[in-house]
Amino acid sequence: MNHGVLTAIYIAAAVLFILSLGGLSNQERAKRAIWFGMVGMILAVGATIAGLFTPAFPGVLAIPNVEWLVVTVAVGAVIGAIVAARVEMTGMPQLVAALHSFVGLAAVFIGLNAQIVLTDVGMAANLSELSGFAGRLAGKTAVELTMLRIEVFLGIFIGAITFTGSVVAFGKLAGHIAGKPRKLPGGHFWNAALAAACLACGAAYLGGEGIWTIAVVAVLAGMIGLHLIMGIGGADMPVVVSMLNSYSGWAAAAIGFTLDNDLLIVTGALVGSSGAILSYIMCRAMNRHFVSVILGGFGGTPVATTAAVGEQSPIDAEGVVDQLLAAETVIIVPGYGMAVAQAQGAISELTNTLRNKGKNVRFAIHPVAGRLPGHMNVLLAEARVPYDIVLEMDKINADFGATDVAVVIGSNDIVNPAAIEDPNSPIAGMPVLEVWKSKLVIVSKRGQGTGYSGIENPLFYRENTRMLFGDARESVQSLLRLIG
C-alpha cells in the first residue's frame, strides 16, 4: 500500500467519522451514523496495519514483529465485542468512562515510548540504518524535535489526567467509590501546585533533561486527575463523562502529532471538540459554569435546603389506570430508574395502548436524564417508541400546564421544583421539567429515598402528586393488565 492510497483511505475514514457525528444529532439517522463510524474505524485500523507491511513508502510506520500487533488487535477486538454484548444499558456510563481511561493510558505509554526511541536515536552510530519511527526521528531538524517534545509533554499530561480521572469516574458510577465530593484541604491550591510542578518538569524536559521528567509529569498529572474528579459530586458525573471524553480526544490528537498520523490528529480533534461542545450544552442544562467543570469546581458540599413539608400520597395501580383512562393528554418523564428496572419495553407497550385509545401521549427528555447524555433516547429507541413523540425539555416544558397527567418514571432531580423555588438548593437555577404544573403527577418510584444527588424532592409531597411505589417494570406491567 503506497502513501497516496493510505492518505486516501484516511481521508475517507475522516469523512465517515464526521458523518457519524453529524448523524447522531438526529434519532432517525443515528443507526446509520453508527454504521458510518464503524466502517470508518475499520478502514482506519485496517489501512494502518496494512501500511506496516510496506515500510519503503514515506510517512508509513514500519516496525519489526508486526504479527504481534495483529494478534493484540484481534484479542482486543474479541474482548471489546464480548464486553459490549454483555454490558447492560445501565452500565454503559461506567463502560464509557473505562474506555476513556484506556485512551489516556495509551497516550502516556506512547509518549514515554517516543522519548525512549528518541534517546536511542541520539546514541545510534549510523542513522542511515534506522527504520520506522526511529528513522523518521533521525531525519528531523532541531526545531522539529523541539516540537516533538512539546507534543510528547502535552500527550502525557492530558493522558495521565484522563486516565486517573476516568478511573475515579468509573468507580463513582459503578458505586465502588462514594458519590460525595472529596477534596484535600486547600482544594484547588493543590491542583495549581501540581500543574506548576508539571510545567517545571516540562520546561526541564524541553531543556534536554531525560525521560525522568516526563515520568514525573505522568505521576503528577495523574494526581491532578484523581483530585479533580474526586472533588466532583456523583450527581454531576454525566457532565464529567462528557468532559473526560473531550480530554481523551485532545490526548489522542497530541499523540497523533507525535506519530505524524493525520487521521489520529483529525479523529482526536473531532472527539475533543465534540466532547467540549456537549459538556458546554450539558453545563447550560444544569446551570453550571463550563470553566468550573474543567477545573472540577462544582458539585461541592450542599448548603442547607428547605425541608419538604407534608406527607407523600400513595396510589395503587387501579387508581393510576382510572386517571390515565380519564386523561386526554399524558406526558411521560423517564429517568435512570427506568433504565435500572429495564422498564422501557413495558412503557412502550403502555404508550401504544393509550394512543390506541385516543390519548395524546408524549415523552419529555431532560438533557442529563440518566447518567449519560442521550441515555433515555437510546432506551426508548430500543423499545421502538416513535421518534416524533420523544421531545427535548425546551420543546415540551411549556406544555405541562395544559397536561392532564404527567407520569414520572424513575426520575428525581430533573423534576425537582427546588431548582426553581429554593435559592439555597444545591441545584438552584438548574433547568428542570416542570411536571408539577400538570393537573396530576404520578411518580413511579421504588421507595422514598432521595435521588442520585441526595437532595430531597418536594414534588413528592405536593397535593397534586401521587406516589406509585414499586419496581418500575412491574408497576407498568400491572397497569397493562388492568387496562387490558
Q: Are residues 81 and 105 in the same domain?
A: no
Q: Are residues 357 and 463 in the same domain?
A: yes
Residue 46 has pLDDT above 90, yes or no: no
Per-residue pLDDT tens for 372-421? 777 888 888 888 899 889 999 989 999 999 999 999 998 888 899 988 88
Per-residue pLDDT tens for 413-442? 889 998 888 888 877 788 899 999 999 999
Domain boundary among 86, 109, 144: 86
Number of structural domains found in the chain: 3
- Identify whether 311 is part of a domain: no
Domain boundary among 237, 269, 301: 301
Neighbours of 73 (CB within 10 A): 14
3-class SS at 331?
A: strand
Q: Is 413 a catalytic residue?
A: yes
> What gap in Å lies between CA 109 and CA 86, rounded to an integer?
29
Sheet holding 440-445, edge to edge: 390-392, 360-365, 329-334, 405-409, 440-445, 465-469
> What gap in Å lies between CA 288 and CA 283, rounded to an integer?
5
Per-residue pLDDT tens for 318-340? 999 999 999 999 999 998 888 88
- Identify whether 350 is part of a domain: yes
> Which residue among 260, 413, 422, 471 is the active-site one?
413
Q: pTM here? A: 0.79
Per-residue pLDDT tens for 163-180? 999 999 888 887 788 767
Helix axes 212-230, 142-174, angle to 10 degrees: 30
What pLDDT does residue 479 have? 94
Q: Are residues 1 and 52 in the same domain?
A: yes
- The CATH number for 346's domain is 3.40.50.1220
> What gap in Å lies between CA 98 and CA 171, rounded to an integer?
9
What pLDDT does residue 56 have? 47
Domain boundary among 239, 274, 301: 301
Q: Are residues 230 and 362 in the same domain?
A: no
Per-residue pLDDT, averaged over 355-377, amounts to: 87
Please, which pLDDT band fits residue 64 given cuts at 50, 70 and 90?
A: low
% of the chain beyond a pLDDT of 90:
40
Residue 16 has pLDDT above 90, yes or no: yes
| The three grid cell numbers given for residue 247, joined into one nine-digit string | 480530554
Containing structural domain, residue 217: 94-301
Per-residue pLDDT, averaged over 15-21, amounts to: 92
